[in-house]
Amino acid sequence: MRIVLVGPPGAGKGTQATLLAAKLGVPHISTGDLFRANISQQTELGKLAKSYMDAGNLVPDEVTIAMAKDRMEQPDAENGFLLDGFPRNVSQAEALDEVLNTESIKLDAVLDLEVPEAEVVKRIAGRRICRNDSAHVFHVEYKPAAKEGVCDVCGGELYQRDDDSEDTVRKRLEVYHTQTEPIIDYYKAQGLVVTISSLGPVEEITKRALEALKRED
């Protein structure tokens, strides 16, 4: 299956993508995680991306599209993928369509996670991530680690993302409304959008998503 996940910052895209990718047997491709890996490895791409990310802006299309394309061409993505955080504006969506068209393949669905803004702010403020693995995501209230600051899965240090400050989150939300939301209409025109509520327990949302994608749990 080839799926695009869309939703505001803090909607639970990363949380759901990890679970859904495992159930569907496809790789979880997150452009945010790819940028953060480049930042921690101090690559040129990481240095460039950091300045945009810390300000809550989108990283320029040219580098983002090249990075996403390169990742989608890896052998593990041959039979499907779950894209999280890409595309993030209409030009990226058009670039993705071009890549898919040259391979004569199509997206199966665009899963739109809906969540009220007040909840988004709470989720982001309490989020803590493991330094060893970006899939190890916690929340101080909703999913606390057994030992504060320590990852339950691997013992790694938990940290708060640089772009999770209140000001940057406000900017990220504005960017979501102005630049990313228009892709929902773009994909509605292709009949691909499935909208579900991203409120409630994590496992229930996964079930909801699988049902919406017409898959058995």
β partners of residue 129: 137, 159
Please give the residue ranges that form the binding site for ligand AP5 (CB under 6 A): 7, 9-15, 31-32, 35, 52-53, 56-59, 64, 85-86, 88, 92, 123-124, 126-127, 137-139, 142-143, 163, 172, 202, 205
**Known catalytic membership, residue 161:** yes
Nearer to ligand AP5, 104 or 141 (CB): 141
Give the residue among 70, 19, 1 at the shortest CA–CA distance from 214: 1
Candidates 66, 153, 204, 211; binder of Zn ion (CB under 5 A) is: 153
Q: Return the SS3 of 160.
A: coil
Residue 63 burial (C-beta neighbours within 10 Å; 0-12, 13-18, 19+) = middle
11 binds, among ligand AP5, Zn ion, none (CB under 5 to 8 A by kind): ligand AP5
- CA 37 to CA 59: how far, in whole Å? 15
- Alpha-helical (H) ranges within 43-194 are 44-54, 61-72, 90-102, 117-125, 166-175, 182-188
Active site residue 172: yes
Of 168 and 193, the one with the shorter C-beta distance to ligand AP5 is 168
2 is in an annotated binding site: no
Residue ranges that bind Zn ion, judged by CB under 5 A = 130, 132-133, 136, 151, 153-154, 156
